[in-house]
Chains A and B, each alone.
Chain A
């Protein structure tokens, strides 16, 4: 271990001063991943919490593991591969290249900006690099992934000053970019099954297109509530299995990484709005308005977006009161988009981006309230 540390220390100096300076941010990240940075405190507090960003982001990745496992299996399952392991391997081999491309391209950009701004690669990208592939269909062309990651990283994050300064969630920015530039590869009925010749609507589009009550249409398409809960339906790789996402949510909540306020508020917002829509929906024969409220929670990207995207602390509202408003706003928006937007049955991505855009404004009002309380004190 000592020898390895010494080797790394020598290499560190060589890279910093050598012609390959540009890779130093990457080297620094690997170096401190292998061994803790080993910096001591100089002033008070003389002791510090054992937590660091690596642990923080590492926990998010850990929480994504159930979604990766079940999602991979489901990709194989949807393509008609028989057998648990065979289906998993089939799906995993579809997912892996997407992850590799995301990391390679994204880390490349991070390295360049780290070099320009003089810091190591920040741990936030490790999460972005997994989140994005899980929100994509298994058939996505890899070059599109590369373009999307570039957009998400550079325009979504680095132009704002890098991790911590970004307004929008970078993974969602990348996904939204794909959605608007190459809609044929990320929506519709033909992209969800990773095998040629098969097409299949997602449960959301089945519900949207239902001529009669949505639940009947879902059942006749083979999408029972159970199946949607366990995730054996067409959809983006990581977002189909509600149970896998809930395990991840439990990890995030127990460890305090994600805000329970945001998760609860988003759920309440969506459920409440779905009830309202159903109640005042008018006398329609079919479509989304006939979908029971609890179905919304297990369908499409709602659960995944709420647990892993809406709770991104950088792009979410930062104040505790603001988190309630932010979550409810996202929940309400997702139902409105799902129900009243005829073009596209999924609303979670846009609802969260919408929430991201409004988060600073929401925080502004919370901060103003704090200032007002201070001014009014003693009066």
Chain B
């Protein structure tokens, strides 16, 4: 077992972490599958508004790779296919009714062990769970025709208020092991599973993986950071990654012969009176999961964590890859001489506010930008929150001047927007590192 003690990074002390208890399953009234959750995907629709679907019915396919299927997480009627700007399909909303379920062949452990690579691919593609596999560089759905160098799984939870892997996987040990058997057929290389001191006990008995232990502040739990330390991505190389929960989902599919859409969510954030875990359906409606009332004007609903999650709403849905909802207060307006305040409750990485004297104190910051965009001024601090041998400012400048070669040399293949999210957070010039990285990744993709 490799042990990695990362020093760089930063944990934002936030109110509203989920208690380790599972609440009663609330009623599911609606679910949605959102093509916008899958970067670069162009969906080929197989249903339209008014159609009845079962759990496991095909909703749409990837237009470029029609073998990649997206299945319905619940039975019911398609309420709407929501389109955004330029008629881009954003989500397919399904009003949940009944429990009609599509049946698939189920497999035993021995049968899965006997799979060839192509059999494993075929089964996974047909299950509708292929999209759980993502590929680096570029953080997109894994390319079917690629044989990845290795597959990485992070069971380290370092993001703000992040759901803990062992809570999400409670009772799913067998399914997890079965899922590992299947994905081990997809690569000639190793399966790297990273755990933390907290999640170690759950995963220590898992066979067929190379275990690594990571400790340190966020983003130690980011798979990109772990890849950097375990086995860096060089030009031309591809690796795949997926979350532990998705492995268990694959295992459930194999053993049940049904599309498994039940999953555990963490409800977090300072605006929630009680924070806990709850069972729900994939693509769940936010207001179904959150018992209390949400005011979209004064509260920000985030699908995912505060750093990298997507803005949602009470009537919004949780993203495909997200296991948590965070609710924080919306910005309250302008503050008189805000830059002069003593800052007893100011959330800050910088030792410029009195809150520095109480580092353990959990705060409830709003969605205030706390400033305006400025030119790059500060130097040397961004590196403190990036536990990789990457120069964040120089990489971003290379992207801003569209220097493809330099981007490649400075490690664009090794990073995703989420890995530099803390740079945006701490930046006094309020520069959006994530957006810039995303732009760089898109430029690299275009370049081929």
Q: Which residues of A contact B44 (CB under 8 A)?
A: none
Q: Which residues of A contact B351 (CB under 8 A)?
A: 254-256
Beta-carbon contact of B307 and A44 below 8 Å: yes
Beta-carbon contact of A373 and B389 below 8 Å: yes
Q: Within residues 22 to 80 of chain A, which ones have a CB less than 8 A from any CB in chain B? A: 32-56, 58-59
A146 vs chain B, min Cβ distance (A): 26
Beta-carbon contact of A367 and B375 below 8 Å: no
Tell me which of B378, B380, B435 has the highest count of chain A C-beta atoms within 10 A of its own C-beta.
B380
Q: Which residues of B contact A261 (CB under 8 A)?
A: 380
CB-contact partner of B352 in A45, A59, A363, A366, under 8 A: A59
Beta-carbon contact of A313 and B366 below 8 Å: no
B339 vs chain A, min Cβ distance (A): 4
Beta-carbon contact of B367 and A1 below 8 Å: no
Q: Which residues of A contact B389 (CB under 8 A)?
A: 370, 373-374
Stretch from A219-227, A265-273, A318-326 contacting the other chain: A318-326
Q: Which residues of A contact B12 (CB under 8 A)?
A: 47
A202 vs chain B, min Cβ distance (A): 33
Q: Within residues 142 to 196 of chain A, which ones have a CB less than 8 A from any CB in chain B? A: 162-165
B328 vs chain A, min Cβ distance (A): 6
Q: Which residues of B contact A277 (CB under 8 A)?
A: none
CA–CA, A254 to B380, complex, Å? 15
B441 vs chain A, min Cβ distance (A): 15
Q: Is A314 interfacial (CB-CB < 8 Å)?
A: yes
**Given the contacts A36-B334, A164-B377, A255-B352, A54 and B339 also touching, CB distance less than 8 Å:** yes
Beta-carbon contact of A313 and B380 below 8 Å: yes
**Given the contacts A163-B374, A255-B352, A367 and B410 also touching, CB distance less than 8 Å:** yes
**Given the contacts A40-B368, A49-B350, A370 and B391 also touching, CB distance less than 8 Å:** yes
Q: Which residues of A contact B337 (CB under 8 A)?
A: 33-35
A4 vs chain B, min Cβ distance (A): 9
CA–CA, A56 to B375, complex, Å? 13
CA–CA, A145 to B349, complex, Å? 38
Beta-carbon contact of A50 and B377 below 8 Å: no
Beta-carbon contact of B334 and A38 below 8 Å: yes
Interface string of B365-389 (1 = CB under 8 A from A): 1111111101111111101000001
B215 vs chain A, min Cβ distance (A): 23
Q: Which residue of B lies closest to A161 (CB)?
A: B375
B11 vs chain A, min Cβ distance (A): 13
Beta-carbon contact of A49 and B375 below 8 Å: no
CA–CA, A256 to B353, complex, Å? 11
Q: Is B81 interfacial (CB-CB < 8 Å)?
A: no
CB-contact partner of B348 in A39, A50, A259, under 8 A: A50
Q: Which residues of A contact B350 (CB under 8 A)?
A: 49, 51, 255-256
Number of interface residues of A (CB under 8 A): 60
**Given the contacts A40-B331, A319-B391, A52 and B352 also touching, CB distance less than 8 Å:** no
A258 vs chain B, min Cβ distance (A): 10
Interface string of B329-346 (1 = CB under 8 A from A): 011011111111001001
CA–CA, A38 to B367, complex, Å? 10
Q: Is A120 interfacial (CB-CB < 8 Å)?
A: yes
A189 vs chain B, min Cβ distance (A): 39
B402 vs chain A, min Cβ distance (A): 17
Beta-carbon contact of A46 and B335 below 8 Å: no
CA–CA, A55 to B371, complex, Å? 10
Q: Which residues of A contact B308 (CB under 8 A)?
A: 44-45
CA–CA, A164 to B410, complex, Å? 21
Q: Within residues 383 to 425 of chain B, which ones have a CB less than 8 A from any CB in chain A? A: 383, 389-391, 393-394, 409-411, 421-422, 424-425
CA–CA, A309 to B436, complex, Å? 30
Stretch from B105-113, B132-140, B176-184, B426-434 contacting the other chain: B426-434
Q: Is B311 interfacial (CB-CB < 8 Å)?
A: yes
24 A/B residue pairs, CB under 8 Å, sorted by A: A34-B336, A35-B334, A36-B338, A45-B422, A45-B434, A46-B326, A48-B368, A49-B349, A49-B350, A49-B426, A52-B428, A52-B430, A53-B429, A55-B339, A59-B352, A124-B377, A255-B350, A255-B352, A259-B380, A318-B379, A318-B394, A319-B394, A367-B410, A378-B234
Q: Which 4 A-B pairs have the closest CB atoms?
A: A164-B375, A52-B371, A36-B338, A54-B339
Q: Measuring CB to CB, which residues of chain B are less than 8 angstroms from any residue of chain A?
A: 12, 14, 232, 234, 300, 302, 304, 306-311, 326, 328, 330-331, 333-340, 343, 346-353, 365-372, 374-381, 383, 389-391, 393-394, 409-411, 421-422, 424-430, 432, 434-435
Q: Measuring CB to CB, which residues of chain A are less than 8 angstroms from any residue of chain B?
A: 1, 5, 32-56, 58-59, 120, 122-124, 162-165, 254-257, 259, 261, 313-314, 316, 318-320, 323, 363, 366-367, 370-371, 373-375, 377-378
A45-B425, A164-B377 known, 10 other contacts, Cβ within 8 Å: A38-B368, A45-B422, A47-B347, A50-B353, A54-B371, A164-B376, A256-B350, A319-B391, A367-B394, A378-B232
